[in-house]
Amino acid sequence: MEFVRAGRTYLGSFLAVPGGGGRAGAVAVLVTDVTRRRREKLRARRVQEFTAALSQAASVAEVVEAVRDGAGAAAEAALAAVALMDESGRQIRFAPTGQEPPARWKAVGRDAVHPIAATFRDEEPRFFPDIRPLVDDYPEVAEAVRRSPHRSWAMVPLHGRGTAAGVLIFGYADAQEFEPAHRTFLVTLAGLAGQALARAQLYEREHATAVRLQRSLLPSRLPHVPGAELAAVYLAGDSVGVGGDFYDVFPVDGAAGREWVLVVGDVAGRGVDAASVTGLARHTLRITAALAEPATALRQLHARLRNDPDVDRFLSVVCLRLRLRDGGADLELASGGHPPALVRRADGRVEVINLPGVLLGAFPEVRLGHRSVALAAGDTVLLYTDGVIEARGPGGLFGEERLVALLRGAPDGEPRRLVELVRDGVAAYQLGPVADDIAILALRVGG
């Protein structure tokens, strides 16, 4: 039997003491103080939970959240907060109570007479069993420390890749002695958090670089198409590395602005190789599709991919030529293994334009789907990559049916509203962050 008295945990055991005649003559009660044992067991479980949370943290924000929720519990501290050096390298930002969102974090200069800044500069932990030395040595924080409910403080550098990236701060409601074993334990927790922080910062830098490179492969702005409206969105997936989704819109030379080419494609894989094939596909189609019908242009791109020994990627792509006329437009579409185009009519009906075909560059021979479609005034055509219909949610894949229903329920076919409706609909349906890149392009014919 376990029981607690005055903050201590005890284990009571009952033993029979033999007496005369084979009967128990008495009962012995053995009481053992197991406070330390239970505390160590609880601490081990909390450290395990903290480590698991850090292993799942991909972003800096997720690391900060894991520290806030897990490090304090493992250290039996009332507060655990992270202070991080900002991108300028001149200020250290931190959450005063550990609960504030980044927008409300405070900042201190790297060279300030402040315990957090000093811990960062010296890369040595600081322990304050009593607040008096903290108040005396750092007058800048004296008022805040006196108002705080915490009686002891510890500040430990967060080391990830050699140098400190921040400081892990612990606050205790009760006075702490900070004995050597306790100090070592806090440094260990900071080491775990520092490694996770370094991974998250590297991930965010690589992801930001990938997004910048990806956007350089897209049009900086959509052109003005007389007699039509255009809109597009691109959403980078959560994976590191440049994705292969792209779109493009350009005029047909010599058509006096009455003929245009729209392209949406998706190169397999991620990384520099995918980016190079994306650039090759986009620039090849800018030349071929401006001179030839979409199906011919895609066959020429397929030949280019197959004949280049340095290219080992394939892609899906849909290419359409738009011919504007009075009261509407005519579309000539061709597709190589790409999701169906959708046409939302002015009255709200949605048509699925299935164009069976195979991926470009995947096989020696290419089979393309092609079709002509007439658009009336107010009709909108929507092109997209498979990140839309393959987004996973509680009901499985987002799928074509949900996408059609989304367009059918839209108040009108205004391109900006439609692409944002699809983007937001996928984001709301998907479990977790966006996994795959998404490109969406819409065009509505005017009156």
Q: Is 408 left (phi over 0), alpha (psi -120 to 50) or beta?
A: alpha
pLDDT at residue 72 in the model: 87
3's enclosing H/E stretch is: strand 2-5
> 10 Å Cβ neighbour count for 124?
12
> 10 Å Cβ neighbour count for 425?
19
Question: What sign does the dihedral 175-180-184-187 (CA atoms) show?
Answer: positive
Tell me if residue 100 falls in helix, strand or coil: coil
Structure tokens at 275: 């980016």
pLDDT at residue 107 in the model: 86
Closest CA to 243 of 295, 279, 287: 279
Tell me if residue 39 falls in helix, strand or coil: helix
Tell me if residue 190 falls in helix, strand or coil: helix
Side chain identity, residue 27:
V
CB 423 within 8 A of CB 233: yes
In this prediction the pTM is 0.61
Closest CA to 395 of 426, 422, 350: 426
Residue 188, burial from CB neighbour count under 10 angstroms (0-12, 13-18, 19+): middle
Query: What angle (nearest 5°) sits at the alpha carbon of residue 430, between those of residues 428 and 434?
Result: 100
The per-residue pLDDT string of the chain (447 residues; one tens digit each, 9 = 90 and over) reads 666 676 677 666 766 667 666 666 666 677 676 556 666 777 788 888 888 988 888 888 888 888 888 988 899 899 898 888 887 788 888 876 667 777 778 888 899 999 999 999 999 999 999 999 888 999 888 888 888 899 999 999 998 766 678 899 999 999 999 999 999 999 999 999 988 888 888 877 776 766 666 666 677 789 999 999 999 998 876 654 566 788 999 999 888 889 999 999 998 877 667 777 888 888 899 999 988 999 999 999 999 988 888 777 888 999 999 999 998 999 999 999 999 999 999 999 999 999 988 999 888 888 998 999 999 999 999 999 999 999 988 889 999 999 999 999 999 989 999 999 999 999 899 877 666 788 999 999 985
**In 217-362, which ranges are continuous DSSP H helix?**
272-288, 294-307
| CB-based contacts of 419, cutoff 8 Å, min separation 6 | 231, 232, 233, 382, 440, 441, 442
pLDDT at residue 168 in the model: 92
pLDDT at residue 68 in the model: 86
pLDDT at residue 396 in the model: 92
For residues 91 and 284, give the distance between their C-alpha atoms in angstroms, rounded to a whole number: 47
As a whole number of Å, the end-to-end CA separation of the chain is 84
Residue 267, burial from CB neighbour count under 10 angstroms (0-12, 13-18, 19+): buried
